[in-house]
Amino acid sequence: MKKKSLPPTLIISLGKFVWTTMWKIMMSQLAPRNKSGEYLRPESQFRNFINSEVDRPYPPEKGRYKLIVGMSCPWAHRTLVVRTLKGLEEVIGVIQVSLSSDRGGWVFDREEEGCSSLAELYQLALPGYRGRCTVPVLWDTKTKTIVNNESAEIIVMLDSEFNSFASNSSLDLYPEGLREKIDLWNDKIYHSVNNGVYKCGFAQTQEAYNSACKELFATLDEIDVALSRSRYLCGDSLTLADVRLFTTLFRFDIAYYGLFKCNLRRIADYENLGGYLRDIYQFSGVADTCSLEDIKQEYYNLFPLNPGGIIPAGPDITNLLVPHDRDKISQDRS
């Protein structure tokens, strides 16, 4: 007797139900959300500061601190860019971690402080810690603890607190006279762009995605107009606002455009943003902090977003070496 097979419509409906249910469970672990399905980024937990004032527990010292970074992570990338621009390579060491889909987090290539994973290092720093184990981490090798894991604060410290050791100490990425303007750009860019791409990619409802995508591209359009008038966000000199934007822009056409559904326009399609990206990429040493392959491998292995695990062949980023001509903007204004 010939067995009857299930109707194709039933198989498809059952498959959709199972996958959607599993997707929601996995996304709830990967990306916490509010009731409307919008991604909510948890706040960093370790917020101490390196400071040269007397009796502070974390004074600036050469060789004492290390940055723990994942090369795919835009937040960690900020710290590498500032470290390079300031000339702190011989002052602050770097330890790299990689994302492990099997262990569900960052792991060390070889043990550090007796730890094989970043989660274990967080427990070493604070036994019983229950928060997220994120990069970057500013690690104190003397006290065996995490000084800070908030990238926005780490880059301020790297810019200002190690000048006595820096080979490019004259560079000031957060000058007093521009801080108000820098902070305004930082706030706008964080919510709409830096975190905005994640709100698109990790949205769990159509409404949440539509809102995040609209805000993202409205802000990119606004930035593009602003960059038609000045070489950088706050004038003719690079600041921390530019560094914070750069690491998101570098990943945009590589990962966010396709994988995170930020596909209204590429950065390369913008009249000014494309040249601005090339300008910063071509700063001495900055390209060495940019790892195309790490970004592709670790973003496209986010299982809920790319269950097939196929890594795209492109894009070709040699276009980032094309002359940017951004210096002509300040010359034309003068």
Running DSSP on this structure, what letter comes out for residue 140?
Answer: E
User: Regarding the domain delimited by 176-333, which CATH topology (the fold level of the hierarchy) does it fall under?
Assistant: Glutathione S-transferase Yfyf (Class Pi); Chain A, domain 2 (1.20.1050)
Q: β-pairing, 65-70 with 137-140?
A: antiparallel
- Superfamily grouping for domain 65-160: Glutaredoxin (3.40.30.10)
Separation of alpha carbons 244 and 185, rounded Å: 10
Model's pTM, two decimal places? 0.91
pLDDT band of residue 40 (cuts 50, 70, 90) is low
pLDDT one-digit tens code per residue, 289-314:
999 999 999 999 988 889 889 999 99
pLDDT at 334: 46
Residue spans per domain, the chain: 65-160, 176-333
Tell me the three state secondary structure of residue 96: strand
CB neighbourhood size of 211 (10 A):
17
pLDDT at 29: 57
pLDDT band of residue 232 (cuts 50, 70, 90) is very high
Which residue matches tokens 């204004």? 333
Separation of alpha carbons 329 and 246, rounded Å: 19
Separation of alpha carbons 311 and 13, rounded Å: 28
The reply to whether domains 65-160 and 176-333 share a CATH topology is no
Instruction: Please report the sign of the dihedral spanned by the C-alpha atoms of residue 39, residue 43, residue 45, residue 48.
Output: positive
Residues annotated catalytic, as ranges:
73, 198
User: In the predicted model, is pLDDT for residue 33 greater than 90?
Assistant: no
pLDDT band of residue 23 (cuts 50, 70, 90) is low
